[in-house]
Amino acid sequence: MMHSNFSQAEMYLITAIVVILIVLFLIPYIFYLTTLSSTIKLCAVHNQELSPGSVWRVFIPIYGAIWHFILVGKIADTIQKELTERNQEVLERPGYSIGITFLVLQILGVIPMIGGLFSIAGLICWIIYWVKINDYKQRLLSTSPSFKTPENY
């Protein structure tokens, strides 16, 4: 029988802290993925490089980390195609650079001793990427699509 160095009250406290941290991380992440998905939904199907529901694949362990890199590129291409079709000015692969930067910084966050700095920088870049994609979403909402979505009928 193993004996723990923690009392039962300490274990409850540790468990509560872990649950709170998971919830504090998970809620913004769900809103982030919802922003990505809803941005894709605003684009014509022929411009979508991926389905709106595919953003949720990032939750699949290991595969999700790789998929997130692919996702950033496909979202950039989708937004570029859609805004070009709507005759809007658009940068090449909008959001791609900051999106890849945030993902690379997250990976570098595992480096001992200096990883925390990379993680903080990655968090900042993640927020910038999220805001940038939301800005493109707002542009898509404010311009007339060249197609009809089920909501437009």
13-47 pLDDT, tens per residue? Answer: 999 999 998 889 899 999 999 999 999 999 999 99
CA torsion, ordered 130, 132, 136, 137, to nearest 10 deg = 20
Structure tokens at 50: 């991926």
Rounded Cα gap, residues 121 and 108, in angstroms: 10
Q: Give pLDDT tens digits for 87-142.
A: 999 989 999 999 999 999 999 999 999 999 999 999 999 999 999 999 999 999 99
Q: What's the pTM value of the predicted model, to 2 decimals? A: 0.85
Q: How far is C-alpha 120 from the geometric centre of its chain's CA atoms? A: 16
Instruction: Return the closest-CA partner of residue 37 out of 3, 66, 9, 78.
Output: 78
